[in-house]
Chains A and B, each alone.
Chain A
Amino acid sequence: MQRLLLVLLLTFFLPCGAGAEGGRSVELRIVVADDAAPLAYRDESGQLTGFSVEIARALCSEMGASCVFDVVPQSDALPRLLQGKADIVATGVFETREQRGKLILADPYYRSFSLWLGPADASPGRQGVRVVVVGGSIQEDYARRQGWDVKAARSSGELTRMLVAGEAQAALVPMIAALQMQKSRAFRGLGLAPIVLRAPELSGDISFGISPYRPQLKNDINAALARIKRNGTYDRINSRFLPFRVS
């Protein structure tokens, strides 16, 4: 009888213990860029930070997981995820029509749109105006579809440098990248005027991408995201990196 009782108790409690142990031992490999300020960059002390990075850290903390960040070029992020070399891509994934159904995306963590930054007299797509975009981005995809004269940069930092160097006269960038570019004196000196492009493929929800090998992460990440949006963590991070609410 005592043996039976012991077996029952073990049956009842062991799964809980194992679950708790499993919860502690979860390690998430997260892919980020480090030249996409204010989303992901290195601060003065070389520490990786930014809106996306801190949101990812907050999610890991909510899920009780330990996170390891892998810094890769933005264009390499999705391929690494699809190859199973990463669990989450936190570079801010916008689901394109082609990607629909192929990627597992968490709920959006901010909403964005795209800006044309060009000379005041140059409307988007005008002949003779070369536009620079970040390679692999929806902006590049859009610009090429429009048949514009496109030049691809590896990152938003490089994109700014190319504009300042005169390699392109205009840029098609996401909202937050434009914010960061505005902080550069050299960029401001170009006197480029912003035009909001309303094309649906250039604005919408931005999410974390989830490895197709770990689809169960989606529910955990969504629940954690909902919690940090409710408990103020999200807004504190938002205020730390961005001048207005982007959710």
Chain B
Amino acid sequence: MPDPAVARRGFHAGRAFGLLAAIFVVAFGLAVLLLAEDQQRVIEVNGRLQERTFPEIIRYQRLARNLEQLRQEGERIFAVSSHASRQQSMFVVTLIASHPSVLEHPAAAELAREAEQFLGKVVGQSARDNQRPAAHYDEWRRIAGRLGVQVDDVSIEGINLAGNDLQQVSAVMNLARYKLMAVLLLVGLFLAVLAVLVRHHLIHPLQRIDHALSGLSAEKPAPVFNTSRLLEIQAVEEAIREHHDLLVQNEEIRRGLESLANKDGLTGLMNRRHFMHSAEMELQRSQRYRRPVTVAMADLDFFKKLNDTYGHAAGDSVLKAFAERVREALRQSDLVCRYGGEEFAFLFPEISTAETAKLAERLRAACADNDVPLSDGRRVKVTVSIGLADASECPIEVALRYADEALYEAKRQGRNRVVISGAGVVTNPIQENP
């Protein structure tokens, strides 16, 4: 017998879902790495902003402050009347124009140098003339105006440094947002696919298995499955099919055992225990619905003498022959059992005592009119006495006792007859001795 596991075609659930999980982890991991890359870029730009751009902005602000200071010192040179004050301002102008913070910005350095030279010339001339340098003020205003514009330009240059970094951060954040949406979409897609696969390969097969198990019975055909792709599900389905086969086998065995337990081994009729149980049930039903029901007791006449004369094998043949006649004479619904020895009990549902008497008489006549062939070729005539009793209003034991009393009456009256309890002899055949 081939190993079912070898014959199965499919895949293990653990491996399948593990593969799915691995694909997801790889995809999600890549997405997270992409996001982490963006985050790293934001951190880098932020670090650059903190470490380089902000100091640069501050440097530009200080340059702008120095240019503005230079302009103010120039104004002071024209405003003050003291030559010493002009010299002091000129000295500050010289320092500012020579300071590295100004020199490192070419445009600012050139303008500062021009202003320094102009103001130096003005201060020198005012010292020689010993008067305020008002004559050159208009020219100074032009230089001062250019200094003002340069201050604005330097300020804006500094601010623009931050603008570039912030634009980069903004671009990275926008990109990260799209990536995040893609990641969420990926997660959603994976969950949807997972849900579909779980539903298709796990939930539906399990529901079919549950349905099959709840209806599993020996009376019903073996469940048919749409074979799953998952080996584990296939194994369960196979196990259910095997379980159903076992149920069927067990039911057949149970029926065989029940038959053995309920039948008389010699005649094949019910045994007394099974008859009493069945008769009790039938009697309850008939009495519940007020339907007529009759019981009977039958006994083969002179059976002991037959045994003594022809042997027990002959007696057995007679019992079997009588059982056969009973089966031929009675209706399908009638119950009959070998009550003990050569004694038989009957229950006739849905039929009155009078009608039962006709049936019993037919049986009695069939026995009386037909010899029973023995195994050695001889033939014997066997008659039967039957007692009937109405059972529609009393327990089975009582009804059978009445029937037994009627049987006794039939025996007393000469055997080979049918007697109804409380009604006397129904049939009066010619008395025959075996």
Distance of A219 from chain B, by nearest CB (Å): 14
Chain B residues, CB < 8 A from A246: 99, 101
Query: Residue A236 at the B interface, CB < 8 A?
Result: no
Chain B residues, CB < 8 A from A188: 84, 87-88
Q: Is the CB of B99 within 8 A of A230?
A: no
Known contacts A113-B98, A182-B87, A230-B54; 7 additional CB pairs below 8 A are A113-B99, A175-B99, A194-B94, A196-B94, A229-B55, A243-B73, A245-B66
Chain A residues, CB < 8 A from B100: 111, 113, 203-204
Q: Is the CB of B91 within 8 A of A111?
A: no
A133 to B91, CA, bound (A): 19
Query: Residue A226 at the B interface, CB < 8 A?
Result: yes
Q: Is the interface of A mostly helix, strand, loop or mixed?
A: mixed
Q: A residues 110-128 with Cβ under 8 Å of B?
A: 111, 113, 115
Map CB proximity to A onto B96-136 as digits: 1 under 8 Å, 0 otherwise.
10111100000000000000000000000000000000000
Distance of B66 from chain A, by nearest CB (Å): 5
Chain A residues, CB < 8 A from B84: 185, 188
Map CB proximity to B onto A208-247 as digits: 1 under 8 Å, 0 otherwise.
0000000000000000001001100001000000011111
Q: Is the CB of B91 within 8 A of A244?
A: no
Interface size class of B (residues with CB under 8 A): 20 to 34
In the assembled complex, 24 residue pairs joining A and B whose CB atoms fall closer than 8 Å, in A order, are A111-B99, A111-B101, A113-B100, A175-B95, A182-B87, A182-B88, A194-B94, A196-B98, A226-B55, A229-B58, A230-B54, A243-B73, A244-B66, A244-B69, A244-B92, A244-B96, A245-B63, A245-B65, A245-B66, A246-B99, A246-B101, A247-B59, A247-B62, A247-B101
A243 to B94, CA, bound (A): 12
Query: Residue A20 at the B interface, CB < 8 A?
Result: no
Chain A, residue nearest B65 (CB)? A245
Q: Is the CB of A244 within 8 A of B99?
A: yes
Distance of B59 from chain A, by nearest CB (Å): 7
| Tally of A interface residues using CB under 8 Å | 23
Q: Is the interface of B mostly helix, strand, loop or mixed?
A: helix
* Given contact pairs A113-B100, A188-B84, A188-B87, A244 touches B54 in the complex (Cβ within 8 A): no
Chain A, residue nearest B92 (CB)? A243
Query: Residue A178 at the B interface, CB < 8 A?
Result: yes
A193 to B164, CA, bound (A): 45
Distance of B79 from chain A, by nearest CB (Å): 16
Query: Residue A179 at the B interface, CB < 8 A?
Result: yes
Distance of A140 from chain B, by nearest CB (Å): 21
Chain A, residue nearest B69 (CB)? A244
Chain A residues, CB < 8 A from B87: 182, 188
* Given contact pairs A243-B69, A245-B66, A247-B62, A179 touches B99 in the complex (Cβ within 8 A): no
A203 to B102, CA, bound (A): 14
Residue from A183, A185, A230, A244 in contact with B58 in the complex, judged by beta carbons closer than 8 Å: A230
Residue from B55, B59, B65 in contact with A244 in the complex, judged by beta carbons closer than 8 Å: B65
A188 to B100, CA, bound (A): 25
Chain B residues, CB < 8 A from A178: 91, 95
Distance of B127 from chain A, by nearest CB (Å): 9
Distance of A93 from chain B, by nearest CB (Å): 17
Chain A, residue nearest B70 (CB)? A244
Chain B residues, CB < 8 A from A204: 100
8 closest Cβ pairs, A-B complex: A245-B62, A196-B98, A111-B100, A244-B69, A244-B66, A244-B96, A182-B91, A245-B65
A115 to B94, CA, bound (A): 10
Q: Is the CB of B91 within 8 A of A179?
A: yes
